Amino acid sequence: MEKSFNYRFYPTPEQESLLRRTLGCVRLVYNKALHKRTQAWYEKQERVGYNQTSSMLTNWKKQEELSFLNEVSCVPLQQGLRHLQTAFTNFFVGRAKYPNFKKKHTGGSAEFTKSAFKWKDRQIYLAKCSEPLPIRWSRQIPMGCELRLVTVRLHPSGRWHISIRFDDLTVKPLRTIDKKIGIDLGISSLLVTSDGDKIANPKHLTQHYRRLRQAQKSLRRKQKGSKNRDKARIKVARIHAQITDTRKDHLHKLTTQLVRENQTIVVEDLAVKNMVKNHKLAQSISDASWGEITRQLEYKCRWYGRNYIEIDRWFPSSKRCSICGHINPAMPLKVREWDCPDCGTHHDRDK
């Protein structure tokens, strides 16, 4: 089973200098390749693929003004071109918008495949680094696992993280239990189960909204290009990081509990991408992270031998009687409870 562990690490000054140069080179190569592909289409109506951009990278390294590209590992540069190809593929099939240029203040990431890092004595050595990365090992990688990919990421808040992908041979299915559950996602309550339990929505953004708003107002007042603006930007990024960390922690604990306590989990397939187009609900839906909940439930059920079922989004679950099967012709959102006209059963809309 493929897994990925995320750790925080604190690079030495030499390592940080090399990593920042690597991220800068990855960003430069990505942006230059994106510019060339866009220019080729608008000027000559030609599509440039990964192979052509890889040849361009070889020529760029031979140019005197771009000779610094040879000072960093070539693997992250090639991986950046592959990510650009994936971005264009997603654009052409309609899964994403046209690729954007990468910006320096957003941090960045660099991927190292097996040829660009070394796993020795349970320490990671990156290419062109003589010392292992000082990683804070919050949990150990299981013995005998083969590391496949290492991703180094610099967040806008200035934190360094490393993601390690490996094949975990120690994952075992959980003991089979006779319990099934249906889940309805919402805003007032984060989720409501078919057993009648309601999990409150912690609303992580609302808890930090006042501090975030003040920090953003302070950022807008600072002069562009000044050091004070850079300090204010980092302050805003740290608040966003705190919101993200608390949200992820809560969702992981919640989904793990659901997977451990139930053999079968049934969730409605929601069109979150379309629902966030409603500007009155977009912030609340994004803060609830419905898509992340279903994503975690899906892969955790696959890990531990549970059954994960997605109900079609057009299935009339809210207006269907679970006793006799009667379907109401209309069910406005303001109706939260209703009685079945055939059997008289009282229903809660969310159960």
235 and 108 in a common domain: no
Is residue 175 situated within a structural domain? Answer: no
Q: Is 350 a catalytic residue?
A: yes
86 Cα distance to chain centroid? 16
259 and 125 in a common domain: no
**Residue of 268, 292, 298, 310 marked active site:** 268
CA dist., res. 110 & res. 25, Å (int): 10
321 and 186 in a common domain: no
Residue 198 CB contacts under 8 Å (≥ 6 apart), including other chains: 189, 191, 192, 350
Question: Which pLDDT does position 123 carry in this prediction?
Answer: 94
63 and 135 in a common domain: yes
Is residue 24 situated within a structural domain? Answer: yes
50 lies in which domain range? 2-167
125 and 6 in a common domain: yes
225 and 212 in a common domain: yes
Question: Which pLDDT does position 322 carry in this prediction?
Answer: 66
CA dist., res. 157 & res. 27, Å (int): 18
Residue 218 CB contacts under 8 Å (≥ 6 apart), including other chains: 232, 235
204 and 117 in a common domain: no
305 and 323 in a common domain: no
CA dist., res. 196 & res. 350, Å (int): 9
Q: What is the pTM of this model?
A: 0.85
Question: Which pLDDT does position 116 carry in this prediction?
Answer: 95
Is residue 284 situated within a structural domain? Answer: yes
195 and 218 in a common domain: yes
Question: Which pLDDT does position 342 carry in this prediction?
Answer: 74
241 and 342 in a common domain: no
Q: Is 269 a catalytic residue?
A: no
Number of domains the chain is built from:
3
Per-position pLDDT tens, the chain of length 351: 889 999 999 999 999 999 999 999 999 999 999 999 999 999 989 999 999 999 999 999 999 999 999 999 999 999 999 999 999 999 999 989 999 999 999 999 999 999 999 999 899 999 999 899 999 999 999 888 889 999 999 999 999 999 999 998 888 899 999 999 999 888 888 998 888 888 999 999 999 999 999 999 999 999 998 999 999 999 999 999 999 999 999 999 999 999 999 999 999 888 888 888 888 889 999 999 999 999 999 999 999 999 999 987 767 666 777 667 677 777 776 677 777 877 877 777 665
8 and 146 in a common domain: yes
Closest among 251, 266, 351, 254 to 306, alpha carbons compared: 266
**Residue of 178, 195, 312, 350 marked active site:** 350
117 and 76 in a common domain: yes
CA dist., res. 350 & res. 265, Å (int): 16
